[in-house]
Amino acid sequence: MKRIIFLSAALAASISALGEVFEVKPETRYMLTYDWSVDGQCRDFADDPEGRSKIYGYRGDEYACEMLYFGSGRSEKCVCRMALAPGNSGRMNHEFYTDSSTVKVRAEVKAPAGCKVKIGKMALSEVKGAPTLNVNPDFGLGLYNFSGVGPSNDGAVTLLPSPSGGVALHGGFYIHLAKTPVRPGGRYNLEMKAQGWHRKHRMDGSFVFLDAQGKKVFQSEIPRYSRNSKKPGESIVKNVEFIAPDNARWVYLWLYGATIEYARITERK
């Protein structure tokens, strides 16, 4: 992997940006890491619980924020925006897959006016030998790290301390988990511990399969998660086996009103 240094400061009067460009392999799992610290008038999640659900999605006008771009030039597109975690400093570990055609990745940190950000030791490394195919399956990267989480449709998405001591994700009305590579005809297993916010005490969801161009080729429902009335405070664990259909290159989970403690996708031998 070749690294190209990229530095941009004071791009505009109100926003400054710092970042680097990396050459990458397509459909490969990477970890972006860097040290960061903020100073000045930055909003801090520790003093702002209202903002916690905003950690996912661009809030560059309020928070220091990491932006991740795939491609370059005119074809460059932003694939992830994540606000930086609370406190004045820390180390970010952001795990993701590159797309089927991605050979260049640009990572950038932006900050609103009055907020000074320092970035150091930014690095991108390939992740090998991970126990699951999907990224951040147990949300173990922390309470303020949305690696592995895709688009959602409301402002209620949040990471929470789970009763079992880990971290859980509440996906608001609906949420997509980040896409995971699959092989057509490959056999996979989803092990998911989750529960629903639906008024009928249930959670529904689907597997959505995409081709290499990101076009949907198939969708199939995940068996419904329903509350056990004798254990109203417990999440349900289910193992669901699935086979990737022809042309499928990626799969993601589309979940409605879900609180997920973990969602692990593994390939069956």
Partner 1 sequence: MISVFNSLVLAFVIALNGAPKTKIIVADDCHSAERFAAEDLQHWINEISGAKVPLESVSGRASQKGVIYVGGAFAEGVFDDDLKTIGESDGFAIREKDGSVYLFGTKPRASIYATSTFLEENTDIIWARPSEAFGTVFSKNPNLDFTMTDRLELPAFETHGWNVVAIRRDYATAKWVVRNRGNKAEQAEPKGKEGTLGFIRDMGGHIYWWMAHPTKYFKTNPEFYSYSKLKKTRVPETLCVTAPGLVDVAVKNLADRIAAGGGEKVESLGIGFRDSWLCCQCDKCTAPIPLKDGSTLECKSLNPEHDPKYYSTRFWLFISEIAKRLKAIYPKMTFIGSGYMYAAEPPACDIPDFMYVSFCPIGEVDSSHPLLDENQKPRWRNRLLEWNRRFPGRVFFYEYWCSYSAGFAGIRGIKRIPIIRQNLLDLKNVLKGIGVESELTPDSPRTFSNHSMESEWDACSIDRWILARLIWDPAANVNQLAKRYISRTYREAAPLMRKFYVQLMKNEWDDSVPRRQRNVFNCKEPEKARRYLAEALEAARHPNSRKMIERLIGQWEIAREKHGVRTVPMMSKEEHFREPGATCWETCLTLPEFKVPGYFTWGVAVNPAHKTEVRMLTDGTSLFLRLDGKVGKKGGDWVYLSLSPKEKNLNPWRVKHPFDGKPKVFEIPLRDLGVDRSDRGTYPTYYFLRYDAESGEESTVDGAKFGVKSGTVSF
State how far the Cα of 105 lies from the Cα of 83, in Å rounded to an integer.
18
Distances in Å between the alpha carbon of 79 and those of 96, 106, 158, 175, 178? 10, 10, 19, 16, 10
- Shorter beta-carbon distance to partner 1: residue 59 or 104: 59
CB 82 within 8 A of CB 56: yes
- Shorter beta-carbon distance to partner 1: residue 94 or 193: 193
By CB under 8 A, residue 196 contacts partner 1? yes
According to CB under 8 A, which residues from 220 to 259 bind partner 1? 227, 232-233, 235, 257, 259
Task: Give the count of residues interacting with partner 1 (CB under 8 A).
Answer: 32
DSSP 3-state of 74: helix
According to CB under 8 A, which residues from 149 to 188 bind partner 1? 154-156, 158, 160-163, 168, 170, 172
CB 102 within 8 A of CB 26: yes
CB 3 within 8 A of CB 19: no
By CB under 8 A, residue 73 contacts partner 1? no
State how far the Cα of 212 lies from the Cα of 191, in Å rounded to an integer.
25
Instruction: In angstroms, give the least distance from the CB of 170 to partner 1.
Output: 5
State how far the Cα of 208 lies from the Cα of 220, in Å rounded to an integer.
7
Instruction: In angstroms, give the least distance from the CB of 55 to partner 1.
Output: 10
User: Which of 175, 190, 191 lies closest to 257 in space, CA to CA?
Assistant: 175
- Shorter beta-carbon distance to partner 1: residue 121 or 199: 199
Instruction: In angstroms, give the least distance from the CB of 118 to partner 1.
Output: 25
By CB under 8 A, residue 86 contacts partner 1? no
By CB under 8 A, residue 114 contacts partner 1? no
By CB under 8 A, residue 195 contacts partner 1? yes
- Shorter beta-carbon distance to partner 1: residue 181 or 257: 257
State how far the Cα of 156 lies from the Cα of 172, in Å rounded to an integer.
5
Query: Contact positions toward partner 1, by CB under 8 A?
Result: 47-54, 154-156, 158, 160-163, 168, 170, 172, 195-199, 201-202, 227, 232-233, 235, 257, 259
